[in-house]
Structure 1
Amino acid sequence: MANVLGEMNAAATLQSPCDDCDIRDLAICGALRTNEVQRLNRIMTTMDLAAGDPIVDEGEPSDFVYTLTTGAVRLYKLLADGRRSVTGFLFPADFLGVSMQHTYSTSAEAITPVTLCRFQRTELGRLMEEIPTLERRLFARATEELSLMQEQIVLLGRKSAAERVASFLRGLSERQVKRHLPANPVSVPMTRTDIADYLGLTTETVSRTITQFKSKDLISVENASRIRIVDRDQLDDLAEAN
């Protein structure tokens, strides 16, 4: 009987928030062994935020690193003249604050209700020294973040409005697939103004372009936050133009 109780207690000890996480294989804990996950859990706290809640502010000390487990987040910078530039969007399994800068380079705000895993940077740094797999995982995600930034530079510098919107929709679809979700319909939780601020367009241009895509049967709009890609080949042709 004592042995059975001991096994039950050991199993309970091994349980962690990661056990029921839908994106565990994509998050930093996905490549870790059970004992390593337990060590990571000891320095992790879980945060639940409502839509519109701030997560970090540009310029404040980057004391924490975050993994988004549910919901969507916008990243943005405020320009000197007061205008806002959206620099990216985060979805489940994405990271915030991975780059080893002393301050956050952007502000982050919840678009929808979100859940995040938060890690104190210095504690995570010490654990990375002891668990090389963790360090490699974070480095890979930082590299992906850099790649997305480079894609946005091309998006803003060389493409027409229609090409930018097509690229954006295709990108959202591809990111869904990476999260083990269907490519269609595409979830669009951000506002048209968010999209415009990300693509360097006006809200009116984004709305007009989406209407044009509908009239040409490239897409169908199921509701304000769900768009179905109808003609993938034509959308891809637009997205790949430069």
Structure 2
Amino acid sequence: MGARLALVTGAAGGIGAAMVRELAARGWRTAGLDLRPAPDALHSVGVDVADDGQVAAAVRRIERELGPVEAAVCAAGHYAIVPVSDIDWSEWTRMLRVHLGGVVNVCRAVVPGMVERGRGDVVAVTSDLAIGGGHAEAHYAAAKGAVIGLVRSLAAELASSGVRVNAVAPGPTDTPLLAPDSPWRRPAFLQTLPTGRLTSAEEVALAAAYLIEDGTFCAGEILSPNAGAVI
């Protein structure tokens, strides 16, 4: 079968694309799920991760053509700064469906096979806002916080089967998700960080790759590559 296969959601850009490149450099084959084409992935499938049927069908196709998924990284997501009083119900539900639902849908598709084979890794990308909260980011922080609860619960449920579930919780990261005028890019904020800079997508990918390849003792762990934003 050759090199092991990793599934990455949100693979078209930002942290997801960095994850694809990092795993490829380590010898993994990669399959990317995204609404847009993922040029760095060996195999790219257009999928809305909030749609469980689309995710299940994509995973069936990928495993039929490329073999079993042995690691899954859930990096798909979106971000918005909106005061809580201005968040309408559709925005609340979309944030939850993409972030929490996206992880659930991937796990439902790949975990049964991992359990059957007695090994596998799932890493979800959450956020330091899930831990510390944020101004005018309630729907995003709530969705990412739910991901942490899911990760820790699945880790407890699956660890004895040989499947490990962990997460990375990056701080503000230098990706297109942060607009040029984002408050997280302002010099006044950057000066408050011990490192004086944003985290890079490549650094987040390194943390996730560590959990997959080297952190074999980790289950339910939340690594926070955040440039010192939350200490």
- Give the TM-score normalised by structure 2: 0.32
Larger strand proportion of the pair: 1
Query: Based on CA coordinates, which of the two structures has the bigger radius of gyration?
Result: 1
